[in-house]
Chains A and B, each alone.
Chain A
Amino acid sequence: MAPGGGVGRVRGLLASDDDEPNVAVVLLAAGVAAAVLSPLLWLFVSAADLSVGDAVGLVASGTTTDVLVNSLALVTLVTGASIALGVPLAVLTVQTDLPFRRLWTVLAALPLVVPSYIGAFAYVSAFGPSGALPDLLAEYGLGFVNAYIPTVYGLGGTALVLTLFTYPYVFLTTRASLLSFDTTQLEAARTLNHSYPRAFRRVILPQIAPGVTAGALLVALYTLSDFGTPAIMRFDVFTRVIYVELNSFGVGRANATLLSIQLLAVTAVILALESRVSGDTAAGYGTPSSAKRVVSLGWLRWPAAGIPAFVSVFTLALPVGILTMWLVRSGPGYSGGGLAFRPEFATNSAYVAVLTAAATVLFALPVAYYAGRSDSLLARAVDRATYLGYAMPGVVLGLALVFFSSRWLLETFGAGAAQLVYQSLPLLVFAYVVRFLPQAVGSTRSSVLGVDRDLVGAARLLGANPRSAFRRVTLPLISPGLLAGAALVFLTTMKELDTTLILHPTGFTTIVTYIWRVQEAGYYGRAALPALVLVAVSGLSMIPLLKGSDDA
């Protein structure tokens, strides 16, 4: 894969041709950004109905300030804690001689497949009032301890649960950076008598920082957009308050619009900050492995394995245990109605998630290619723009698309157009693309950055036109990044609830809509099996995410 010296020499010949992507790519990328931003226009259409006085009053109100402060506190805590958890786990599993590294790698990444609303529910059932833990303690005569257990609700609990189920974003991006890190540099540092910690700080950290930041950004934006956890853990952040406002109708709808616009502004600020922190050499999830175990833990080998094991107790054993408890324990005493769980729901989920993964990669490719090949302001703006939809609560995005694909289409193009588009599968897939595009853009862009331009130059020199050079050289090289992005999108689509509920084609039941249906009526026992199926199917998508580690 390394470029030959001869090729290097002809780089100059082709540099002018290859440095900037051609107009078609730019237009495609800008088109994608415009398409995924378009639903957000709805917020401004709705806001236009408000009087300026009301709007200013709402924005300046005490509640709004509280919500902003709460949201920022939560994002800061979750992002910080995810880095604190994800980076050491990545270092342990990539760079040390930890026993069963592959197992720990899988277990450390797996919490990503647990939907946050299930994770939060499991935590409330375990630690909440009259939960499993207080009951257990009381049973063994330790009831007095309960008074000292901090409440699971509020900032602490919300941050804990979100961290436990989103830190894998940081883990995965950091891991990819570490895998593509040239370990000879570390060895050089060690020969200069640097201890490992010192070498880590001076050599490794600067190089993996972009990868860590990329993961941290996904965590931060996911935290802003997540509704389930703060709702269940009762912490007033943007999503929860927006939802409550939407529930109270009337003026609430206007409030929800304004809060969503504020959320959008917060997202924009975070994106701008991240741009300044990270150089544009962010690593993705699928860069090829160059890892060698470089640190011998010595006698600490086995005790160190306790760290990922300990984390897994809280991220995997506990939620799965609670689900199993629900499954075994009989539900409340009246016969529930409705459909029993059918395998078809799982295939529906997987089907739409595969479609979404494919569509997202197609949308991501021009954006990532453009952003990876150009340093222009437009490239940067296009790349960042795709992240805005990711921080929108699913319910807001869903309602925006309801407006455009039904009323707006009807009024603009007639009833036929609205009927064709509204509540169709392609519309649902588009909604998912808007939500999850950044997950694919990030990993694809870093693989584009990883492609040596001299190789493309060589192909051109040998007579290939740009298209053919892309197909025969670039595409195969970035395919691991594409696949990793697709896998990430697949598993987040599998667990996305709000958008699915609002936009699914009528009669199209998926695992999550089924879980919602039975859980809404309090039949937790009947939610357990589909939840376990969801976790299992999503778990399979971890395979491409973790490929590229050839360690045992």
Chain B
Amino acid sequence: MTDDATHDHMSDDDTTTGRRTYRRRRVLAGLGAAGAAGLAGCGGLGGSESDSGSGGGGGGAGGGSSGDDAIGAAFDDFRGSGPLAQGRSDIGGTRIADLPNLSGELTIYLGGGEGGLYRDLLAKFERIYPDFTATPRESGSADAANTIINEGGATPADVFWSVDAGALAAVSAEGLSAELPSEVVDPVPEAFHPDETWVGTAGRARAVPYNTEELSDDDIPDSVMEFPEVEGFRDAIGWAPTYGAFQSFVTAMRLLEGEDATREWLQGMLDAGVTEYNNEFLVSNSVADGALNGGLANHYYALRVQAARPDAPIDLAFTSGDAGGLINVAGASVLSASRNQELAFDFVRHLLSAEAQEFFATRTYSYPMVADIPPVGGLPPVSELNPPSIDLRELSDIQPTLELMRDVGVL
């Protein structure tokens, strides 16, 4: 491997070896060595080692929010802790200080909610705006969508904020979502708001965690369809077929490559001795342990592993233009029955503020939806990934996927 050599060619190399180059950056960022060396690697990407406390982040925040010191100081409050959240100074985007104030009450249906992180963010908004009250209500994303559909015009919800784009699309398809003004959706690439009834707030990419002691980036093909033939994956690749994101990935493959090719791929993976896990954290963790050479998982699980074990030999590869490179999003809708629509629009703009995007990026390791906020850990920015062109709304059609998986014997 010649990390340093290719590193320089990164930007003009995107179409052919782009995938490899950002992996290389991650090698530098996360795995250079243990402890201080790892942090120094991070520093190379932006900040410095003096970023304990308010050092690196505070500078950037201060610059962007000159109008309001209290809010500028609050920037660090949004940012997570730990090595992956350090050294981030060049944060662009719109600051909360530059957005209209939030004042009034909103009822927010949370579909999912990432174990309470969404609630945390709402609480932060409430601390900034004493006149703002957000009342969250949590259930599963499909439950929440079905609840809103059954409520129809009687819904008490002003905003529907869901971890799953399919749920947002289902509510929108019933004509229950209001059209978002352009100043709300404009900062987000069109792929993550196919129409104006909902907008992505944070993304998660399908990725290939691999063990850097067993495989090099060159061993991993650009196309996920070739995986069953990869020598390094034989009897050493893992997946979690019951996990929703994996099923979305298979759905995407079904839509992109057709039913037969998908069936063949699943069978090929079984023949290659794929190991089954209960969830993708375990897949990523087993890759770090060396029990697996590689796996199929959402990108953030490898970062979770890395945050807990900074010297773990794990890195991420991304496939290009196929289901393996799918990016799904969490997003928000404003309901047309809401009597607080203006406030709700402003609230959604807050979810896309630099602070909130930084919150998602550094605490859940999600992909920010706003281009000016970089992802953590040396991940390639969304603009450098090459996700398949697929309408995220179609991913809710999982029934044929499940039948296919059952047929092959994956489920």
Q: Chain A interface (Cβ within 8 Å of chain B)?
A: 63, 124-125, 128-130, 234, 236, 244-250, 252-253, 255, 332-339, 395, 398-399, 402-403, 406-407, 409-411, 415, 418-419, 422-423, 498, 501-502, 506-507, 513, 517-518, 520-523, 526
Contact = CB atoms under 8 A, between A and B. Distances in A.
B356 interface: no
B261 interface: no
A234 B242 contact: yes
A333 B305 contact: yes
Contact of B135 (A334, A419, A507): A507
A250 B142 contact: no
8 contacts: A236-B406, A248-B399, A255-B399, A406-B155, A419-B156, A423-B156, A517-B138, A521-B116
B173 A249 contact: yes
Given A334-B365, A337-B363, A338-B119, A520 B275 contact: no
A513 B147 CA distance: 16
A409 B117 contact: no
Contacts of A399: 146-147, 150
A398 B173 CA distance: 22
B293 to A, nearest CB: 16
Given A128-B278, A252-B399, A395-B143, 11 more contacts: A234-B411, A246-B142, A249-B167, A332-B281, A334-B304, A337-B117, A498-B143, A502-B143, A518-B115, A520-B115, A521-B116
A70 to B, nearest CB: 12
B275 A129 contact: yes
A244 B152 contact: no
**Chain B contact residues, majority secondary structure:** helix
B154 A422 contact: yes
B396 A332 contact: no
Interface residues of B, number: 66
Interface string B287-324: 00000000000000001111111000000000000000
A344 to B, nearest CB: 15
Nearest to A231: B242
B82 A338 contact: no
A333 B142 contact: no
A338 B150 contact: no
The 4 A-B pairs at the shortest CB distance, nearest first, are namely: A338-B116, A333-B308, A521-B115, A249-B170
B364 A502 contact: no
Interface stretch (B35-43, B106-114, B326-334, B379-387): B106-114
Contacts of B80: 334-335
Given A130-B282, A409-B154, A339 B119 contact: yes
B145 interface: yes
Contact of A407 (B150, B279, B306): B150
Contact of B277 (A130, A333, A334): A130
B48 to A, nearest CB: 23
A112 to B, nearest CB: 26
Interface in B362-407: 363-365, 396-399, 402-403, 406
Nearest to A508: B137
